[in-house]
Amino acid sequence: MSRYIAQRLTWVAVVLWGVSALTFVILRLTPGDPAQILLGPVATAQDLARLRGELGLDKPLLVQYALWLAHVVRGDLGRSITLHRPVLEEVLRRFAATLVLTAGAVVLAFGPGIALGVVAARRPGRTADRLSTVVTIAGVSIPSFWLGMLLIILFSLRLGWLPGTGMYSPVGQGTIPDLLVHLVLPAVTLGVLPLAVIARVARTGMIEALRENYVTTARAKGLDEIAVTVRHAFRNTLVGIVTVLGLEMGFLLAGAVYVETVFSWPGVGLMLVNAILTRDFPLVQGAILLVATTYVLINLLTDLLYAYLDPRIRFG
Amino acid sequence: MEESPVVLGGPVSVVSARPVARVLAHLRRHPTVPCGVVIVVAIASLGMLAPLLPIAPPDLPRFSHRLAPPLSAGYLLGSDQLGRDILSRLIWGTRTSLAAGVSAALLALTVGSALGISAAYYGGRLDHFFMRAIDILMGFPEILLAIAIVAALGPGLTHAMLGVALANVPFYARGMRGAVLLLRANEFVESARAAGATDLRIIARHLMPNIVAPMVVFVSLNIGWMITETAGLSFIGLGAQPPTPDWGTMLADGRTVITVAPHVATGPGVMIFLAVLALNVLGEGLREVLDPRAR
């Protein structure tokens, strides 16, 4: 196992280096002079030349990348042009809001997704299975940015049950119950896609598991169907579900951008979109780097968990 | 020479003795697939026939008719905050949204296939280099990579389409590489090489026909996602720009008046959902017909 972990860590280091290089290059390809963007249209030629020198923009691209990376590894992602604050501080603050939203979506998707898949797998082709198929195909087809608006219209505007924007009430004290009430609609919106995917994986895995010899043996031993389903078939399906859950979590971090826009949720996605539209490139770079790094690390954890749960992976 | 067609994941025969009969039998078992075909064809036809239909110009503002509700005189689906006919914008938006999604899928397929096929066929250092580069690209969540590309190029429909296409290239490249790796060791490839065929001819005449099936399945399952992603980029202001009629921008317009006129967002939302749902149903159907493992 330790050899497998060492291999994965080495490869993750390479991917993270690639992610940093690509983030740097993509933003350097942007038309326009970063010094001009930072100082605005009224800057003099001397000011521009001085800032270029200070930022190292007059140096070769490779040197610029090395300087930028040296700052990044020390936690210095520069200062936001529009917010006039350190990028890391702002990105981390926003990222916490995105993590809350993503965690809410995963919690809402995990249980119902598994339940739907398991119930469907018990009797393939019957009503429950057909219902599960409809839910899963609709779940992967409905755009989150429209579903969010539908939920706002129904539960916020028509019924008045739940708030439709923000993370806390403007006049509140920022309490946990206030946060949870605001979290329901965005988390449901974001959670529909992973719910559909988990249900699908659970259904497929359970159908396969229920056909295995060990399940027939368990039945022959006289175990009741619930014990066979839960203790024998489901435990083996769980490996696949955990893997999908890990992948979906990484995907949701970036996918939250649409949901955050619909619900004005103050997460890193909404910040990224605003930063792009206002050409605040240090903030764009910081947000992309942080989300991509987290995605890589979640994938690493998923791989390790998968290898831990399924020895065939690490010894394969 | 007879070559056995493959699908992603394994060399299996996709052409049985009576393919038409099998497809018809499959359609009888899955009546949702013809429904998907009908909806896709209907939506695509609507978009193509937009210039011929008796509808108002999509960009014509009539401020005296702002936010007219559905079924108003002259506005079957109502009007938006500038008094533009929602039905007309929906139909014209179909052209933009479908064209962007389909173009993104075709571009991703072309670039991804070229990379995947050449990596698998030539192997060695080229394969190693391409696959490591693809691993790094896959270090980004797909949507984030598309957004990063749009951030670099600037907002706009073409840039959004390019961003979505390039963000999907790694998936196509990996899929096609897998399919060709399974074929490369087959005797018919060795025979063609022994007969003096050039690499290009082997790829074009012997490998490509055998990976058409997985390509079709891959695109059909992915194209709905591409449409959603390009519409999503337009929705957050990074794709199509006003006044271009596009489902994503229409939804963004609808969001600003959601409290007073929910109907503005309903039409484009339904259209995206229907188009993607139909394409997914169709993709699943094709997968079951073309991929024996799915049956």
SS3 for B125-183 is HHHHHHHHHHHHHCCCCHHHHHHHHHHHHCCCHHHHHHHHHHHHHHHHHHHHHHHHHHH
User: What is the spatial distance between Cα A251 and Cα A187, in angstroms, rounded to a whole number?
Assistant: 14
> Which residues in chain B have Cβ-Cβ distances shorter than 8 Å to A137?
277, 280-281, 284
Report if residue A24 sits inside a domain: no
Structure token pair of residue A160: 């008045």
Q: What total number of domains does chain A contain?
A: 1
Structure token pair of residue A97: 């809001």
Instruction: Give the distance from residue A219's alpha carbon to the nearest chain B alpha carbon, in angstroms.
Output: 27
Structure token pair of residue B173: 């490249």
CB of A131 within 8 Å of a chain B CB? The answer is no
Structure token pair of residue A242: 């955990």
Structure token pair of residue B123: 């192997």
Q: Which of B148, B232, B280 sits opposite A26 (nearest CB)?
A: B148
Taking CB atoms and an 8 Å limit, are A23 and B143 in contact across chains?
A: no
pLDDT surpassing 80 at residue A44:
yes
pLDDT surpassing 60 at residue A24:
yes
| Domains within chain B, CATH numbers bracketed | 46-294 (1.10.3720.10)
pLDDT surpassing 90 at residue B42:
yes
Task: List the beta bridge partners of residue B85.
Answer: B79
User: What is the spatial distance between Cα B15 and Cα B237, in angstroms, rounded to a whole number?
Assistant: 46
User: What is the spatial distance between Cα A253 and Cα A274, in angstroms, rounded to a whole number?
Assistant: 17
- Tell me the helix, strand and coil percentages in chain B, rounded to 5: 70, 0, 25
CB of A37 within 8 Å of a chain B CB? The answer is no
- CB-based burial label for B11 (10 Å; 0-12, 13-18, 19+): middle
Instruction: Give the distance from residue A63's alpha carbon to the nearest chain B alpha carbon, in angstroms.
Output: 21
pLDDT surpassing 90 at residue B88:
yes
pLDDT tens digits, residue range B192-213? 888 888 888 988 888 888 888 7
pTM recorded for the entire structure? 0.87
Q: How many CB atoms lie within 10 A of CB B137?
A: 20
- Taken as a whole, chain B contains a residue count of 295
Report if residue A213 sits inside a domain: yes
Q: How many CB atoms lie within 10 A of CB A159?
A: 9
In whole angstroms, how large is the CA radius of gyration of chain B? Answer: 22
Structure token pair of residue B111: 């670039």
Provide the sign of the torsion angle of the four alpha carbons B272, B277, B282, B286, taken in this order: positive
What's the whole-number mean pLDDT along residues A60-76?
A: 88
Report if residue A266 sits inside a domain: yes
Domain containing residue A212: 90-280+294-309
Taking CB atoms and an 8 Å limit, are B141 and A292 in contact across chains?
A: yes
pLDDT over 90, % of chain A: 33
Taking CB atoms and an 8 Å limit, are A141 and B276 in contact across chains?
A: yes
At residue B2 the predicted structure's pLDDT band, cuts being 50, 70 and 90, is: very low
**Domain with A181 in it: what CATH number?**
1.10.3720.10
Residue B136: what pLDDT? 86
Within 252-281 of A, beta carbons closer than 8 Å to B belong to: 253-255, 257-258, 261-262, 272-273, 276-277, 281
CB of A103 within 8 Å of a chain B CB? The answer is no
Q: Kindly state the DSSP code that residue B50 receives in the 8-state scheme.
A: G
Taking CB atoms and an 8 Å limit, are B277 and A137 in contact across chains?
A: yes
At residue A173 the predicted structure's pLDDT band, cuts being 50, 70 and 90, is: confident
Q: How many CB atoms lie within 10 A of CB A211?
A: 10
Structure token pair of residue B3: 């070559």
Taking CB atoms and an 8 Å limit, are A251 and B141 in contact across chains?
A: yes
Instruction: Give the distance from residue A299's alpha carbon to the nearest chain B alpha carbon, in angstroms.
Output: 9
Report if residue A28 sits inside a domain: no
